[in-house]
Structure formats: C-alpha cells, structure tokens
C-alpha cells in the first residue's frame, strides 16, 4: 500500500494574530459542534477513494485544534481510524496554543492517541509576542510545556518565528537559548513573512510598520543553525530541527511528495501529480458536506516539467537532497565549488548557506 498522510484543519482560534494568513477565525466557537459533524461526514465521503493508502501520519492543524474539547478530538481521531487504513505506529500530532491546554487536557489528548504535540511558542520575548499580537506570554509557554511533560508527552515541538519588528539578533538568541533549555524533541523556526491581506500587511503598506529586514532574518537564520547544532539538533529541513529520531514524519511527507488528504475548510490534498482544495469559508464548507457532497473548491494537475521543478524544490529543502544524476554536471559544479551545495552519497544536498538562496538555486539547477 502507498504511504499517505491525513491533515485535518480546525479553523477556530482564541484571537486572530495580525500576521496570520491561515484560514482561521476567532469568535466562531458556536460552530464547533456542527463543524465537527461536517469533518466526520467528509472523512466518510472521502475514505473509499483512499482505500489503497496506508496512513502513516495524521496532523491536526489550524487555527488552534485545542480550542475544541479533548473528547471531540478523540471522537474525530477514532472516526478516521475506523474509516482509513491507519498504521498502528502512525505519527499523530495536534497543534496547540499554550493558553488552551493544561495537564488534564493534555493527559486526555495523549490517552486518545495524539502522541505528538506541536505548540506555538513563537518567542520568549514579551515585546516580540506583542508585536506578533500573540495573546500568550513566555510564562504561558513554560507552564504549558511543563504540563505536557507532566502529562507524559515525550515528543513535543515548539514553533518559533523570527524577524518581527523590533526584534534583534540578541533577542532572538535569548529565545533560542530559552527553547533549548526546555529541551523539546523538535523545533520549527520560521522567518516572519508578510501577506498583503493581513492586518500586518496593511500596516506595512500604509507605512505604519517597517517590513522585515531580509538581511537581519538571514543573520537570525545563521544564529539558529549554529546554536541548535551545538545543542544536538539536526537541521533536517530548512525551517526544522530535531533530536535524532524525532523528525516530523507528516511534514516529511509533504517534502517527499507522498499523497495526503486534507479534511476541513480550506484543506489541501495531493496525489499522483494532482492537487485539490476544499472551499475556505466554514459556512460554505459545512453546507456543502451537509448536502452529501465533497467540499472541493478547486483543483489542478501538474505538467511534467512543473512536477519535476516542484520535486527538486521540495527535496532540496531537506538533508536528503536530490540524486546527483538528476542534474547536469556543468550546472551543479559552480554551486558545489561555491559551497552552496555538497555531494553526499550520490545526492546533492544544500548547505545552510544554500538554504538561504533556495529559490535561486532550484531555478539555476532545474529551470529550463
């Protein structure tokens, strides 16, 4: 059977952060029961077409899945396990906001089968959290992380964001040291990106907030690489570091182009060089499913050259890289000589310097 992943989108949040462009909403908690019924119904509608796939990862993202009760998330997981061929050793993750969990809820989630927890810490600098419009504090992260350990979690990821207005390299270093001190199994660190349709994007367009400085973000990336390496974390993907054996299997599926099914409002799916996505507005999503229809909002099929470029780009995000045989020697040699690529057991792998120039690197290597 083909290995596959399932992503479930939970769009509810405590508040809407100013930088966030995800399909997430605050103040819509009254829709939770109906939304849960819709996701269960969509899973039942979609399952027959995925009978030949063995599900090796399930990931609840959002939004904030843990705004929903642990019992509801458990019923969702049981429903999926009953209708799909889920590997008994599947990696099962839920995202969480530190202010939405405590030891009791985390114990319930772990017992339900959510063996991996991914928490949005973002920063341990209160001024940076305020700039990002996060409602939690650094102490909230420490408390929630401690509660996760007390609940029995042995696989925890902390999400970080760097490059917000006013953040310095020194502040970012302190956030990294605070993160390392907690010793999570996995760390994701993303450069802040600005989407025009977000409140942050509009403030920048109006000249009220400066744009992120790409040179400063590059310096912060280098600092992250150095500190996390020294603390024993392997840099296995551009924005992801893990202790040995704790790489995120679900996200590796995206980069390795394994099939994945997305359930929920706005969720994306991929299989056999075709991708499709659900309608985004929760009300439209629920109404469509309630009519007994799959809530597909659009689709596309990749042409062979586009599929090749995508595969090169995604694989070069990881330490696996791409087979050297895929690239003509005369294209690869300049990047090997300049230290942007290295050859590892017959694969071309980007160095950390190369990761900073990934788009340019891919186009130079595989573009027409």
Q: Is residue 296 part of a domain?
A: no
Task: Say if residue 79's pLDDT is above 70.
Answer: yes
Task: Say if residue 368's pLDDT is above 80.
Answer: no
Q: How many residues does the chain have?
A: 368
Among 239, 255, 271, the domain-final residue is: 255
Q: Is residue 346 part of a domain?
A: yes
Q: What is the mean pLDDT of residues 32-39?
A: 98
Say how many domains are in the chain: 2
d(CA 173, CA 17): 23
Same domain for 209 and 69: yes
Same domain for 355 and 229: no
CB crowding 143-158: b at 16 or more within 10 Å, else e: bbbebbeebebebbbb
Task: Say if residue 359's pLDDT is above 70.
Answer: yes
As a three-state string, the secondary structure of 230-294 is HCCCEEEECCEEECCCCCCHHHHHHHCCCCEEEECCCCEEEECCEEEEECCCHHHHHHHHHCCCC
Which residues make beta-bridge pairs with 189?
160
pLDDT band for position 366 (50/70/90)? Answer: confident
Q: What is the mean pLDDT of residues 69-80?
A: 98
Same domain for 15 and 113: yes
Task: Say if residue 354's pLDDT is above 80.
Answer: yes
Among 209, 236, 255, the domain-final residue is: 255
CB atoms under 10 Å from CB of 85, counted, come to 16
Q: Is residue 42 part of a domain?
A: yes
Q: Is residue 138 part of a domain?
A: yes
Task: Say if residue 13's pLDDT is above 70.
Answer: yes
CA-based end-to-end distance of the chain: 35
Q: Is residue 106 part of a domain?
A: yes
Q: Is residue 292 part of a domain?
A: no
Same domain for 191 and 54: yes
d(CA 222, CA 213): 14
Task: Say if residue 243's pLDDT is above 90.
Answer: yes
Task: Say if residue 128's pLDDT is above 90.
Answer: yes
pTM: 0.95
Task: Say if residue 341's pLDDT is above 90.
Answer: yes
How do residues 23-35 score in pLDDT, each as one tens digit? 999 999 999 999 9
pLDDT for the residue numbered 213: 96
Average pLDDT, the chain: 96
Among 213, 228, 255, the domain-final residue is: 255
pLDDT for the residue numbered 16: 85
Same domain for 127 and 22: yes
Q: Is residue 280 part of a domain?
A: no
Task: Say if residue 333's pLDDT is above 80.
Answer: yes
Task: Say if residue 248's pLDDT is above 70.
Answer: yes
pLDDT for the residue numbered 2: 95
Residue ranges making up the domain that contains 221 = 2-255
DSSP letters along 63-97, please? Answer: S-GGGS-HHHHHHHHHHHHHHSEEEEEEEEEEEE-
Task: Say if residue 202's pLDDT is above 80.
Answer: yes
Same domain for 90 and 15: yes
Pairing relation of β-strands 85-96 and 116-122? parallel
Token pair 């929903």 in the structure block, residue: 68
Task: Using DSSP, state whether 359 is helix, strand or coil.
Answer: helix
CATH number, domain of 72, equals 3.20.20.70
Q: Is residue 312 part of a domain?
A: no
Smallest CA-to-CA distance from 100 within 91, 108, 92 is with: 108
């Amino acid at each position: 059977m083909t290995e596959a992943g399932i992503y479930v989108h939970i769009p509810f949040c405590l508040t809407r952060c100013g930088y966030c462009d995800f399909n997430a909403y605050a103040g819509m908690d009254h829709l939770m029961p109906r939304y849960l019924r819709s996701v269960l119904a969509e899973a039942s509608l979609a399952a027959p077409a995925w009978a030949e796939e063995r599900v090796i990862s399930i990931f609840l993202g959002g939004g904030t899945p843990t705004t929903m009760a642990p019992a509801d998330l458990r019923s969702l997981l049981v429903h999926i396990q009953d209708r799909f061929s889920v590997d008994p050793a599947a990696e099962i993750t839920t995202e969480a906001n530190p202010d939405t969990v405590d030891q009791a809820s985390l114990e319930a989630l772990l017992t339900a089968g959510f063996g991996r927890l991914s928490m949005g810490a973002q920063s341990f600098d209160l001024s940076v959290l305020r700039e990002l419009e996060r409602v939690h504090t650094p102490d909230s992260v420490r408390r929630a992380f401690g509660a996760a350990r007390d609940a029995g979690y042995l696989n925890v990821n902390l999400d970080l964001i760097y490059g917000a207005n006013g953040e310095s390299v020194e502040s970012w270093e302190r956030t990294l040291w605070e993160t390392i001190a907690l010793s999570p199994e996995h760390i994701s660190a993303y450069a802040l990106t600005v989407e025009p349709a977000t409140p942050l994007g509009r403030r920048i367009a109006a000249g009220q907030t400066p744009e992120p400085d790409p040179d400063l973000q590059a310096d912060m990336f280098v600092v992250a690489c150095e500190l996390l390496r020294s603390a024993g974390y392997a840099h296995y993907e551009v924005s992801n570091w893990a202790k040995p054996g704790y790489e995120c299997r679900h996200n590796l599926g995206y980069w390795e182009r394994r099939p994945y099914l997305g359930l929920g409002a706005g969720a994306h799916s991929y299989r056999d060089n075709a991708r499709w996505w659900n309608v985004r507005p929760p009300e439209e999503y629920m109404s469509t499913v309630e009519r007994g229809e799959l809530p597909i909002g659009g689709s596309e099929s990749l042409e062979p050259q586009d599929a090749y470029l995508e595969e090169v780009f995604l694989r070069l995000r990881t330490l696996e890289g791409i087979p050297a045989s895929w690239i003509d020697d005369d294209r690869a040699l300049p990047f090997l000589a300049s230290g942007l690529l290295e050859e590892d057991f017959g694969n071309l792998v980007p160095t950390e310097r190369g990761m900073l120039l990934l788009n340019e690197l891919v186009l130079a290597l595989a573009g027409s």
